[in-house]
Structure 1
Amino acid sequence: MNVAVVMGGYSDESVISLRSGQLILNHLDKIKYRAFEIHILKNEWYCLIDAIKYPINKADFTFEKDNQTVKFDVAVNIVHGTPGEDGHLQAYWELIDLPYSGCNYYQSSLTFNKRDTLSVLSKFNIPKANSIYITKGENINGNNIAAELGLPFFVKPNQSGSSLGVSMVSTLDDLPKALDFAFAEDNDILIESYLNGTEVSVGVLNYKGETKVLGITEIVSQNAFFDYEAKYLGKSNEITPARISSNLEELVIETAKKVYESLGMTGFSRTDFIIMNGIPYFIEINTNPGLSPQSIFPQQAAHAKIAFSDLLDNEITLALQRKPIWKK
């Protein structure tokens, strides 16, 4: 079976995606699958074989090698950010009838949009921070924001990952810089109240037909919060399993499953919560969680004693079973 391991992307997260793709290539069963390293970048799409780039034909997602057309049976998507985590690639693969891993284009688009995700989850009584939504060009009054949310608060791009463009504002003097930082990533931003508690990250997936929580990881950042530097440059301690009571563990597991199912998810995901006063507050969900050596999801798979090759087998099986929406 020809498997396209699709990595890269158009955002600053592409470097993390390329690392994640290598983990998948290393763990795919070489007896079952013939894996191809596919790079989706702003300026070019190509298959990389022995350091040679073979351009991808965007009409049908194939490439030519030795005067033969190579077609794929399935795509394993590990593109972080756009276009692989916001629904664009998924919609494209639907149109050309290529099975792909992870959630479909609607769920991808929904969960990449923080405001819309929070709006959906509010219908299911999922606890979350108080927030304000602002579009670039709007009049922004820092005093009104502080009065509504208190200080400190967080400023985040509405559509971004890996904590890119996220700042914690402790005084209103910090606000202009935080706004510029967030608006550099997206024209829409979310400003959220600060939750003072224990941060945990929960790996959830559809495994053998059931919603399964891989594990709960406690995040102890050396920085003010779990930012890009803490995530990828070693400025945090990640403790699996999290140091929480058994009752609280059950509540986090129950809430994480509820989030996953309420959003109609399939495939790998990682959901972040802040536990405050015994309540897990939803922060965000990642539908293409990082799979680099520094990432949490592989750590949780090891904790669950599930071989990563088995998780990939499961993803490919789900991809092949799912029919494109237009065929249903």
Structure 2
Amino acid sequence: MKRTIAIVCGGDTSEFEVSLRSAQGIYSFIDKEKYTLYIVEMKGLDWHAQLPDGNKAPIDRNDFSFQLDGRKVTFDFAYITIHGTPGEDGRLQGYFDMLHIPYSCCGVLAASLTYNKFACSQYLHAFGVRIAESLLLREGQSVSDEDVMEKIGLPCFVKPSLGGSSFGVSKVKTKEEIQPAIAKAFEEAQEVLVEAFMDGTEITCGCYKTKEKSVVFPITEVVTHNEYFDYKAKYDGESDEITPARISDELTQRVQKLTSAIYDILGASGIIRVDYIITAGETINLLEVNTTPGMTTTSFIPQQVRAAGLDIKDVMTDIIENQFNTHC
């Protein structure tokens, strides 16, 4: 009997369309001889499965099932590829835990922690991971231009503390830009991060682990054509992504070892991707941890899998089957 897999996408943030693209990527990557696949799209309370004939079937949220030709279809596994809430922040993970449906990524605690950039960086800093100086603002709070300039300095980044794909992010160079940038970030999330600019080489490293093995992928160097690695750089080709990165073997090993350690510290599961800036003296600084990284055919993880000489179909099978080996 083939296992039935839900590729869960959509969500309630600006990353909705990116998530749909990741779902198409994952659909193309998973072995269809081993698994029966359905894409399940979520937006608010509209949850539906996409059917082979192009129609949609509503999901029964009581047991995460749907009706097809008069029979109930239930899922053995959920591959979560929602970037943002409710799939990246632990909410959907809690739902699947209660239904005893295994899934592809981190559990509730690790997902909610990594989704909050400020909380995650401060937590990992306690384990000796280097991070940028930052300030956190919650909705209703404010900070003066003078405090930003004194505590963080210019240039700096202002970004939502929740979310991704560079929505709501500004690189601030002048005093006059600080408050508009904060207002823009608050349009995306209820918490805003003001973070010191670090000048260096941006890199990213993927990793996944199963009961049998630990795999850390080759590192990708990101050279943006823009002020920073913004949405257009990420998705519209306005950057160069070089895998493996043009860094020394010794630094490569240090980054890969740190990525593996961060995976364990967080209690991660499935594929994660950790973004860094390498500053003067080959200092490794954490940018953020992605527990549901983009999985379009051109995303970093598929690039790194290819560079490692692996078949992404095998990687997907590893992640799915590992949950059946460990789930109880």
Q: Could you state the TM-score of these two structures normalised by the residue count of structure 2?
A: 0.96
**Per-residue deviation at 1:114?**
1.0
2:132–2:197 contact (8 Å) kept in structure 1: yes
**Per-residue deviation at 1:27?**
2.0
Question: Would you say 1:87 and 2:93 are equivalent positions?
Answer: no
1:273–1:283 contact (8 Å) kept in structure 2: yes
**Per-residue deviation at 1:119?**
2.0
> Residue 99 of structure 1 aligns to a residue in which SS?
coil
Question: Would you say 1:215 and 2:218 are equivalent positions?
Answer: yes
Report what 1:5 is aligned to.
7
> Residue 70 of structure 1 aligns to a residue in which SS?
strand
CA distance in 1, matches of 2:314, 2:269: 16
Match of 1:64 among 43, 62, 67: 67
Match of 2:48 among 30, 43, 46: 46
1:153–1:170 contact (8 Å) kept in structure 2: yes
**Per-residue deviation at 1:136?**
2.2
The C-alpha deviation readout for 1:278-300, integer Å capped at 9, x for no partner, is 11100001101101133111000
**Per-residue deviation at 1:43?**
4.6
**Per-residue deviation at 1:79?**
1.1
The C-alpha deviation readout for 1:49-82, integer Å capped at 9, x for no partner, is 1210100000000001111001111111111111
CA distance in 1, matches of 2:9, 2:140: 34
Report what 1:252 is aligned to.
255
Report what 1:315 is aligned to.
319
Amino acid at match of 1:14: F
2:273–2:289 contact (8 Å) kept in structure 1: yes
Report what 1:36 is aligned to.
38
| Amino-acid identity (%) | 38
CA distance in 1, matches of 2:325, 2:4: 16
Match of 1:172 among 156, 160, 175: 175
2:259–2:274 contact (8 Å) kept in structure 1: yes
Report what 2:207 is aligned to.
204
- Matched positions, count: 324
CA distance in 1, matches of 2:260, 2:208: 9
CA distance in 2, matches of 1:226, 1:207: 31
2:6–2:40 contact (8 Å) kept in structure 1: yes
CA distance in 2, matches of 1:115, 1:159: 9
CA distance in 2, matches of 1:294, 1:42: 28
> Residue 215 of structure 1 aligns to a residue in which SS?
coil
Query: Which moves more between the two structures, 52-61 or 168-177?
Result: 168-177
2:210–2:322 contact (8 Å) kept in structure 1: no
RMSD: 1.2
CA distance in 1, matches of 2:212, 2:222: 29
The C-alpha deviation readout for 1:218-257, integer Å capped at 9, x for no partner, is 0000111101111011110000000011111111112211
Report what 2:309 is aligned to.
305
Amino acid at match of 1:20: S
> Residue 171 of structure 2 aligns to a residue in which SS?
strand
CA distance in 2, matches of 1:208, 1:163: 34
> Residue 6 of structure 1 aligns to a residue in which SS?
strand
**Per-residue deviation at 1:209?**
3.1
Q: Could you state the TM-score of these two structures normalised by the residue count of structure 1?
A: 0.96
CA distance in 2, matches of 1:105, 1:144: 35
CA distance in 2, matches of 1:121, 1:10: 27
2:26–2:296 contact (8 Å) kept in structure 1: no
1:87–1:104 contact (8 Å) kept in structure 2: yes
The C-alpha deviation readout for 1:172-227, integer Å capped at 9, x for no partner, is 11112211110001111111111000000111111563332111000000111101
Report what 1:125 is aligned to.
128
Question: Would you say 1:286 and 2:263 are equivalent positions?
Answer: no
Q: Which runs of 5+ in 2 are unaligned?
A: none
Amino acid at match of 2:55: I
CA distance in 2, matches of 1:313, 1:282: 29
1:120–1:263 contact (8 Å) kept in structure 2: no
Report what 1:186 is aligned to.
189
CA distance in 2, matches of 1:293, 1:146: 41
Q: Which runs of 5+ in 1 are unaligned?
A: none
1:101–1:318 contact (8 Å) kept in structure 2: no
